[in-house]
Amino acid sequence: MHPHLGQPDAARIRERLQRLVAAESPSGYVDGLERCHALLQEWGTPLFGRPAEIVADQGTPHLLWSATRGPGVLLLCHVDTVWPLGTIDGWPFTVDGHRATGPGVFDMKAGIVAALEALALCADPTAVSLLVTGDEEIGSPTSRTLIEKVAAGCTAVLVLEPSLDGAVKTARKGGSIYRVDITGRAAHAGLEPHRGVNALIELATQTLTIAGLGDAERETTVTPTVASAGTTTNTVPAAASLRVDVRAWETAELERVHASMHALTATVTGASLTVDGAINRPPLERAGSLDLLTLARRVAGERGLPDVTEAAVGGASDGNFTAALGIPTLDGLGPLGGGPHARHEWADLTSLAERSSLVAGMLDALAAARP
């Protein structure tokens, strides 16, 4: 690394990551989110010179430090995880060499630690906004408006989501989420099944129809993911439901599938269905990331850091929202690692320090380029 620049503090990085992972924060668990916020307040307040603002929406708290010398750069993170409360009891934070494991360590608590370390290394944290949301893993229902509002006042957005084997993410698919609810009529399956309207049969038919809405050539995926129906073995199911995940590179494809989902009609006589859902995140297009990718590569070269590569990925993030506003956005600036949402999730502590230095250099360069 550049000899004249401050160096990331490896011991501080490890200690903070351990404490943050230990504070379990599954989406929707307010007590856990607040415990994480307390840690972030402890670490961030000395950097910004003031405590963060807590912005709550529908009971979900989000943490925000706004730039006081702007327009600034937004560091965008989320602290919620997919892991149920109590996971830490059987899977505690552990370090083996440079590999740290534990629930949420890679997605994305290591990215938050890297963001704070970058703020400690950059020349002027007051030119930076840091937003840590609490519901990204469930589609950002309460944070999207806040994300867009904060980003609108910034010149660039750096998203500290995990990298893909070190590659930053210059393109992401957009996504939609749907729920299909089916109403039938119960009856005794042995005595008079003909009096029933089988919601499970309707569910099976709709599942196959929905799965056929994808387009392999365009890499549009429409995936039925969660289904339920019925009450007892000897009762014709009176109700059924289905959850559907949609991903596409193009907004037009999301709109096509959306129209098809809401045009679904029941096929079993007497059954009815309702469809709830919409496009959740627009695609993040590569064109909006290229200038920041060029900057990241220049900073990496100047600081003796690993080369910055790029990747396009199917998963969406909050960076999709900011890119859709036309704000330059670079995603995947978090550390190397693997296994997001899986029991083998891990983060590379060495790369966490490297990413901290990279982001600090980008913050300094963006601040220097500002009018």
Q: Clarify whether residues 168 and 310 are in a common domain.
A: yes
The predicted-structure confidence for 248-298, as pLDDT tens digits, reads as follows 999 999 999 999 999 999 999 999 999 999 999 999 999 999 999 999 999
Phi–psi pair at 56, nearest 5 degrees: -105, 140
Tokens of 164: 């893909």
pLDDT interval class at 5 (50, 70, 90): low
* Whole-structure pTM value: 0.86
3-state secondary structure of 344: coil
- Residues 206, 130 share a domain: no
Let me know whether 241 and 185 are in one domain: yes
Query: Which residue, of 225, 255, 281, is where some domain finishes?
Result: 281
- DSSP 8-state symbol, 230: -
Alpha-carbon distance of 244 to 254, in angstroms, equals 13
Q: Is residue 265 part of a domain?
A: yes
pLDDT band at 69 (very low <50, low <70, confident <90, very high): confident
Q: Both 145 and 56 in a single domain?
A: yes
Asked if 194 and 260 sit in the same domain, the reply is yes
Domain residue limits at 344: 10-173+283-369
pLDDT at 106 > cutoff 50:
yes
Domain boundary among 244, 259, 281: 281
Interior/surface letters 330-343, b for 16+ CB within 10 angstroms, e for the rest: bbbbbbbbeebeee
- pLDDT of 131 > 80? The answer is yes
pLDDT band at 71 (very low <50, low <70, confident <90, very high): confident
Same domain, 134 and 274: no
In this structure, are strands 310-313 and 346-348 parallel, antiparallel, or unpaired?
A: unpaired
d(C-alpha 333, C-alpha 340), whole Å: 15
Region of residue 29 (left: phi > 0; alpha: psi -120 to 50; beta: else):
beta
* Same-domain pairing of 252 and 341: no
DSSP state of 255: H
Considering the domain architecture, whether residues 120 and 152 belong to the same structural domain is answered as yes
Domain match, 168 and 178 both: no
Do 51 and 97 belong together in one domain? yes
Q: What CATH number did the domain enclosing 221 receive?
A: 3.30.70.360
Identify whether 226 is part of a domain.
Answer: yes
- Does residue 157 contact residue 106 with C-beta atoms inside 8 Å? no
Asked if the model's pLDDT at residue 1 lies above 50, the reply is no
248 occurs within a structural domain: yes
Residue 319's pLDDT is what?
96
Q: Number of structural domains, the chain?
A: 2
Domain-located, residue 4: no
pLDDT band at 2 (very low <50, low <70, confident <90, very high): very low
Is residue 1, in this structure, part of any structural domain at all? no
Calculate mean pLDDT across residues 3-22. 88
> Tens digit of pLDDT for each residue in 185-195?
999 999 999 99
Could you tell me the pLDDT band of residue 4, with boundaries at 50, 70 and 90? very low
At residue 313, the pLDDT reads 95
Mean pLDDT across the chain, nearest whole number?
96
114 in a structural domain:
yes
Output the domain CATH number for residue 128. 3.40.630.10
Cβ within 8 Å of residue 343, ≥6 positions away: 91
pLDDT in tens, 171-182: 999 999 999 999
For the cut 60, the answer to whether the pLDDT of residue 3 exceeds it is: no
On whether both 105 and 152 belong to a single domain, the answer is: yes
- The residue ranges of DSSP E strands in 168-322, in sequence order, are 168-172, 174-183, 221-229, 239-248, 272-281, 310-313
State the pLDDT confidence band at 232, using cuts at 50, 70 and 90: very high
Final residue of a domain: which of 264, 281, 298? Answer: 281
Cis peptide upstream of residue 261 (ω within 30 degrees of 0): no
Establish if 3 belongs to a structural domain. no
pLDDT at residue 341 tops 90: yes
Kindly state whether residues 68 and 211 are assigned to the same domain: no
| Side-by-side strand order, sheet with 53-57 | 53-57, 60-65, 128-133, 73-78, 156-159, 329-330
Q: Convert the pLDDT of each residue in 288-307 to its tens digit.
A: 999 999 999 999 999 999 99
Q: Is 270 left (phi over 0), alpha (psi -120 to 50) or beta?
A: left
Residue 304 near residue 358 (C-beta atoms within 8 A): no
Residue 2 lies in a domain: no
Q: Are residues 292 and 361 in contact, defined by beta-carbon separation less than 8 angstroms?
A: no
- Give bridge partners of residue 176 from the DSSP assignment: 246, 279
